[in-house]
Amino acid sequence: MHRGENADVADLAGMFRRPRHEAFLRHSRELVAEHGLGEGLIAGRVHSIRTERTHLLVQGEGVEVAARRVLIATGSNAHRVPPWARRLQGEGAPIHHAFGPSAPLDHDILGGGISAVQRALLVHRATGRTVRLWMRQPVRVADFDIDRSWGKHRFVGRWTEMQVPDRLDFLRRHTGRGTVPSGLASRLARAVRRGSIELEHEVPSVEWDPSRERLLLRGEGRAVESSGVTLATGLQRETLSGWLRSFAESSGLPVINGVPRLERDMHWGRGVYVCGPLARLRLGPMASNIVGARWATSKLPSVRMLPV
């Protein structure tokens, strides 16, 4: 928050003194206003980037912007949906994603992380009914998705010393796992003891009966009927797709396993720089965190130092 001793204690939560949601939003709005960040904002979806002789042409919804340099800082907003769920959705089964606009409140919930537990608690508060929550394994309690040690500068050096295959293997094994902070895990445990949440430590096989418009969830040794399933399975890991993948292919930009291979200064190709989740091969597991954004900023060359 960068307010030091002036920060209101009520704005901070937990032993790590993290800002509460509203406090973080207020802080962000203050920064946007202070630096006039809204003045250069063009709202809309980008359709393509094309390399011209003297500049890059960014084309979007009814607008074109010529730029000498472009910083790509995209994240993922694609829901992670297992193949079996996509198949049943195609058959008309009532399977929704927790991040979607219309997930009903009378469904079973599948997932093992923060969104699954928060969804189960929210549904119980809204309906008063017992909520059935299916997890693959016992709750993984962790106050941070990634070991905080990777946020320290000495680990950045360690990351750069790793070979690319080792980086890819580390990211595969240590990111994208469902974890629950200790405070939320305690709330879940209390809800289970009270009978507000029925916790199942398995992933059921799911069958759809269109004639009865019911799902059948088969676990170990039993089967239960359900009016539907809400997937709390998070977001897909960000990789190059759509117009960005087309741009990389047409421009011959270096890519490894669907992720840009960047220079030390976050440079990808002529006038193109990358930060955020797509920079994880360069920045490590903290790439999509605020810490990763600060590291990327420190590595990016000053605009005054770049050739026109």
- pLDDT at 308 exceeding the cut of 50: no
CATH 3.50.50.60 residue ranges for the chain = 84-142+179-231
Mean pLDDT throughout 96-108? 87
Tell me what pLDDT residue 248 has. Answer: 94
pLDDT, tens digit, 9 for 90 and up, residues 36-57: 988 888 888 899 999 888 899 9
Q: Which fold has domain 42-76+152-175+237-308?
A: FAD/NAD(P)-binding domain (3.50.50)
Q: Which residue has the higher pLDDT, 135 or 174?
A: 135
Mean pLDDT throughout 274-297? 87
CATH of domain 84-142+179-231: 3.50.50.60
Beta carbons of 197 and 191 less than 8 angstroms apart: yes
* 3-class DSSP assignment, residue 180: strand
Q: Which residue has the higher pLDDT, 170 or 77?
A: 170
The beta strands (E) that lie in 28-187 are given as: 46-51, 56-60, 64-67, 70-72, 95-97, 108-110, 131-135
Nearest to 230 by CA among 83, 92, 130, 132: 132
Backbone angles phi, psi at 228, to 5 degrees: 170, 175
- Compute the distance between CA of residue 39 and CA of residue 157 in angstroms, rounded to an integer: 37
Beta carbons of 109 and 228 less than 8 angstroms apart: no
- Which residue bears the tokens 């032993």? 15
- pLDDT at 155 exceeding the cut of 50: yes
Nearest to 277 by CA among 265, 262, 294, 259: 259
